[in-house]
Structure 1
Amino acid sequence: MSRRSSGMIGVWAEAQRQQQQTQLIQMREAERRERAYEREAARDRREQQAAYKQHREAEARRRTEQLDAQVAELQGLLASGCRAPSFRMAALVRPEQVQPFDPGGLGHPVPMPQLAQFHQHSGGWALGSRGRAEREAHDRYTRAWQAATAAEQERLRQLAAYRQQYDQWAAEQLAAVRRHNSGLTDLARSLRAGEPDAVVEYFSAALYASTAWPGALPRQVSAAYDPGARQLVLDWELPRYEVVPEVKAVRYMPSTDQDRETARPATQRRALYRDLLAQCLLLVLRELYAADEFGALDSVVVNGFVDDHDPVTGREAQLVLATVQAGHGAFSALRLEQVSAVDCLVEGLRGQLSARPDQLTAVRAGRRPGDVGGDVVSHGGHVAGDDDEPDLFQMDPIAFENLVAELFRAMGMEAVTTQRSGDGGVDVEAVDPAPIRGGRIVVQVKRYRNTVPPTAVRDLYGTVQDKGANKGVLVTTASFGPGSYTFANGKPLELVPGAELVELLHRYGLRGRLGGGSVPAQRTSGAAAGTAAAPTLVDVSVPPVPADRNVLGMTWSGGVALDVCALVCEGGRVLSEDHFVFFNNPSTPDGSVRSRPHSAPDKAAVEVGFDDLPRNADRLVLVAAVDPEVNPDADLEGFTDARIRLLDASGAEIDQLEVSDGRAGETALVLGSFRRRPNGDWKFVIGGKGYRGGLEALLGDFGVEVA
């Protein structure tokens, strides 16, 4: 009995020993895995810390390199400016050519039906019904032929009217070009005769049109011309002390996880600033004498100033920090690319330069424009005038052109008028210094009372292409019809109707009204880009927004033509194809969502009655896609600064909803969605999902099949 018990205990003990050994092995394996995991995690942390440190160090180096590049640009202002092309009158001459006649869809005849096609559709006749079928086929053919004939006659009528309109427009454009070129001939004659107005206008244009000046530097100028002394006298705004970076370098400190900025020594910063001021005056002289192809200048006086509080009186004043008078002969003997700017200004030309411009220590100014006598012309400052709002319709055409140029300068651009015209249709040359979106802008000004014809917009587009400009802007006291907006959609064009012009003038401290006063913002028909539209000179009426509706106005930067669409969905699926709202289906069946003509600054608009949406709809999705007919090779890389403006029925802005930027290679994008909350309210959720297959690929995710 005891032996059998011992055997059972032995088996049990062996089993317990093996179990304990297995548990020990498993525990050691778990510990080994834990140690391996901790080593892997520690290695990952070290790699992450190293990557983070490298990123912060690289960012600090990038900031330092930016500071160095900024200082190098300031130091090399004069040398780079001397390499810029000189301003010439020939640059303003326009070629005597206009955009060729393009009838578009009107140039294609209407296809006429063929009798054989109708007989083919009547095949399979039963015995005894052949004659009846032939008569029915012939009747259908006759009706189709009559409809096609009527459509062809209407096409020919519209084509003839459009051709007549084009011929009239082309004649007007050629006449305007010839008047412009004749005006340049008159201006050249006035320059040779030393007429003060012509001299000041020409050389002000030379300074504003110069490519030698970085966009961050100001270009405000007041000028007068002394014909007896053949001397141009001007006050030129200088950059402020803050233009020289206060920080010299940036270094990342791992111990504190912060960037440490090394301050630029005050003596170095002051020396850089004094050198920059001297370069500015020398560059002004260089630009003026280089542009003097008519021999109008024997000498030039430049007073460089900053607008600030006078440290002596505490009042705002123009503080002259540098001044110089230079004769043509003495200045032409200089090799500006090689000089020390401060030494050249002070020693070589006997000018004056503030010893402490950082503390606004002024120098005694030379001859000022007001000392010359006669009129002083200023550009870049506030427009002076009476207290009453001037009527833009009654304003002198040249004064109106100058007012538009002044508006562009008040918006931070450089702008000058480039021609004189008696009908108000003139160009203004403008330069937007902003990076990426900036560049050269061609502005046409039309002081009309009636709707601007679409041919004027076509003319502007041709001018943009001929001039190689980045954008064209058409400013008018009137309005634009749907044909104009259709043509401009997707092109680097911007249309500014009269009501918007008055709003911009007031916003930037300028004055102007339309007749008895400003008019409400214009709403126009917003036909989709790329769709055929018959030429029209008549604006269309737009129904008001019902009181219980909202308008979603969409705006963005970039010139790509986009189709903005809306989908009424339950979950991630559209309720039906009829609930996909786009230019060929402008409304849902119940009318709760509609496409709507947009008004500035929006580029597309949708009208929504949130309370009227179907009960089973829990989201309204807004999408955008590149129009393949207008921009077949474009993507959404330039789709930036996008937002949705939520407006009430009166047009008042309730909120602005940010939208994701587009990405290279993508041609469609979900902008965002309004989602129904359990309490019935709607919340906006930003989108951002992009598609490379265009609208078809996007709609596939929402259950819409695109034929």
Structure 2
Amino acid sequence: MAGGRSEWERRQAAQRREAERRAREAARLAKENERERQRRHLEKQQAAAEQKTAKVAKRIEEIDQILVSVLRVRPLAFDQMKAVPSTQPFDPGRMGVAERPPDWGQFAPPTPSGLSKIFGGQSRYERSLQEARGRFDNEVAQHRKREEKRLRELDAARAAYDRQIAAAMDKAAADNAQLDQLRTEFDNGQPEAVEWFAAKVLDGSVYPKDFPRLYQVAYRPENHDLVVEFELPPQSAIPDVRGYKYVKARDDIDPVPRPQTEVKQRYAKLLACVALRTLHEIFAATPGSIIEAIVFNGRLNTIDQATGKKVRPHLLSVQAERVAFEEFVLADVNPVACLKRLNALVSPNPYDLEAIEPFIAFDLKRFRFSADMDVVAGLDSRRDLLKLTPTEFEHLVRELFIAMGAEAWTTIPSKDGGVDAVATSNNLFFGGVCLIQAKRWAGLVGLDAVHALTGVMADHNATTGVLVTTSWFGRASEQFAQRNRITLINGAELKHLIKQYLNIDVIPGTTPPRNARASDNTQSGRPGPDA
């Protein structure tokens, strides 16, 4: 049409407008969908960051509860370890249900009546009745056989159950008898029984799953103390991040670092908590008549970053007396300060694996006095150290320490028949000048003898001291020695060292009396015979 648009053009324009409208609507929906996707992604990332942060917080809480969490736990006792056999009732299952007997009503033919009875029905009924009776009698016989079989199987199952219960009760009785024997030995202070029970206490202690569960224990009946060598958790036990945050600009989740000073402080606190926890668990589960003190040595199995070699540095060592330890309110103590109060040896930088020398070397404490140490030398081919002359004893001690690394040896006069010598070495014990006293005694070497060694050390400007005896020391002597850089070697340890370095079997001396008290350090031993 002239001067205007045709119908076709108008339709085309309308279609273009509709297409443009739809395109705008699609673009709007796409933007909304993108905004919704971004919102959901943001929430997901933020939730992931919060979840990772919560995991770190849970770990820190778990670490913080290492000590206090066990204070509410009931201590292990022998009665708790009693075996209780299973007493579940006998369940025969389907064998216990009798099969319903056959019902004659299901076999009996219908009784004839009316006309059927007149026209031969009675005779047919008699025949049917006879056949039904036969089927019924056969089913009764089969039912009887099935019931007899069921009852035999039921009797066999009950007999098997009774045998199983009897075996379980016998095993429980045997286990409990063995436990009673261990308890008797424990009450008598037998080292193996005390060590077994202490190991059970430590086995039952629940730590985080990634903590090592390695330890060794040695009981010294002459001192009434327990030496524990414990594998400490690694530095990685402390998270090196405080949490996580979502960085929208990079669409990434970044860790929030934990300050290195805090990581080191938390690690030192963790080690202190592990030590105090172990002391608490063993003291709480044992009587004071058996364990008066515990020596805890904590070491770490790790890699030396400088050499790439495996190392096991000691990072903590503490000797705790029961009487003093039980005065602490562990729920409220500062673990690090508590160890300091106990005069513990703690690495200045445990996180950096700066090692310390433990109070007591665990390996030597594994060698205890044994009953055969009282065997008469005439009935034993081994050398009895108490029957050596002073010269022979000095010679043996000198050979031992030279084999252990002493580079020089000078004997000096001794007033009590023992051996006094000055040795020098870069490796012997703590290195430098070391004064050695060897006492060929038959009884307890008291605190006065250990105290006197410090004076001799001062006279000879000795860096360290070593007191060797054929007998044994009290715990007060050990505590004094630890504070004054003196190493004590008792008869059992001397026997081991002579065997290890000189390959000679010896009888060191008398066995400590069973009723010897660890606190009895005022006595002094007597020199052995000169013959």
Counterpart position of 2:143: 148
1:39 aligns with 2:19: no
Matches of 2:127 and 2:24, distance apart in 1: 93
Q: Using a 3 Å threshold, how does the CA distance of structure 1 residues 56 and 373 change in structure 2: closer, same or farther?
A: closer
Matches of 1:52 and 1:258, distance apart in 2: 11
CA deviations 1:188-244 (Å, max 9, x no partner) are 222221110110111110111124x22322221111100010010110111111111
1:301 aligns with 2:289: no
Which of 188, 194, 210 is the equivalent residue of 1:193? 188
Which of 75, 91, 105 is the equivalent residue of 1:86? 75
Matches of 2:338 and 2:155, distance apart in 1: 67
CA deviations 1:377-429 (Å, max 9, x no partner) are xxxxxxxxxxxxxxxxxxxxxxxxxxxxxxxxxxxxxxxxxxxxxxxxxxxxx
1:202 aligns with 2:218: no
Alpha carbons 1:60, 1:251 under 8 Å: kept: yes
CA deviations 1:158-182 (Å, max 9, x no partner) are 2222222323332332233333333
Pick the structure with more strand per residue.
1
The structure number with the bigger radius of gyration is 2
Alpha carbons 2:109, 2:132 under 8 Å: kept: no
Counterpart position of 1:174: 169
Q: CA deviation at 1:358?
A: 2.6
Alpha carbons 1:56, 1:252 under 8 Å: kept: yes
CA deviations 1:249-297 (Å, max 9, x no partner) are 2111222221112322222211111111111111100111111147411
Identity of aligned residues (%): 28
Matches of 1:248 and 1:298, distance apart in 2: 42
Number of residue-to-residue matches in the alignment: 363
Alpha carbons 1:188, 1:294 under 8 Å: kept: no
Alpha carbons 2:316, 2:344 under 8 Å: kept: yes
Counterpart position of 2:178: 183
Matches of 1:99 and 1:350, distance apart in 2: 54
Q: Using a 3 Å threshold, how does the CA distance of structure 1 residues 115 and 56 change in structure 2: closer, same or farther?
A: same
1:334 aligns with 2:323: no
1:60 aligns with 2:29: no
Which of 114, 136, 157 is the equivalent residue of 1:162? 157
Q: CA deviation at 1:56?
A: 0.2
Counterpart position of 1:386: none
Matches of 1:35 and 1:373, distance apart in 2: 86
Q: Which amino acid aligns with 1:28?
A: R
Which of 213, 217, 221 is the equivalent residue of 1:223? 217
Q: Using a 3 Å threshold, how does the CA distance of structure 1 residues 168 and 156 change in structure 2: closer, same or farther?
A: same
CA deviations 1:106-163 (Å, max 9, x no partner) are 2111222112213379999996754444344333323322221111111111222222
* Contiguous gaps of at least 5 residues in structure 1: 1-8, 377-707
Alpha carbons 1:95, 1:177 under 8 Å: kept: yes
Matches within 5 A, 1:275-294: 275-293=269-287
TM-score by length of 1: 0.48
Alpha carbons 2:299, 2:315 under 8 Å: kept: yes
Matches of 1:330 and 1:122, distance apart in 2: 101
Matches within 5 A, 1:97-108: 98-108=87-97
Q: CA deviation at 1:309?
A: 3.5
Q: Using a 3 Å threshold, how does the CA distance of structure 1 residues 24 and 235 change in structure 2: closer, same or farther?
A: same
Matches of 1:342 and 1:310, distance apart in 2: 25
1:366 aligns with 2:355: no
Matches of 1:121 and 1:50, distance apart in 2: 83
Matches of 1:25 and 1:105, distance apart in 2: 83
Secondary structure in 2 aligned to 1:321?
Answer: strand
Counterpart position of 1:253: 247
* Contiguous gaps of at least 5 residues in structure 2: 370-531
Kindly report the root-mean-square deviation, in angstroms, between the aligned alpha carbons of the 2 structures.
2.8
Q: Which amino acid aligns with 2:174?
A: R
Q: Using a 3 Å threshold, how does the CA distance of structure 1 residues 164 and 294 change in structure 2: closer, same or farther?
A: farther
Counterpart position of 1:661: none
Q: CA deviation at 1:312?
A: 7.5
Q: Using a 3 Å threshold, how does the CA distance of structure 1 residues 340 and 253 change in structure 2: closer, same or farther?
A: same
Q: Using a 3 Å threshold, how does the CA distance of structure 1 residues 144 and 369 change in structure 2: closer, same or farther?
A: farther
Q: Which amino acid aligns with 1:162?
A: A
Secondary structure in 2 aligned to 1:194?
Answer: coil
Secondary structure in 2 aligned to 1:248?
Answer: strand
Q: Which amino acid aligns with 2:167?
A: E
Alpha carbons 1:235, 1:368 under 8 Å: kept: no
Secondary structure in 2 aligned to 1:143?
Answer: helix
Secondary structure in 2 aligned to 1:119?
Answer: coil
Counterpart position of 1:115: 104
Pick the structure with more helix per residue.
2
Q: Which amino acid aligns with 2:107?
A: F
Matches within 5 A, 1:575-614: none
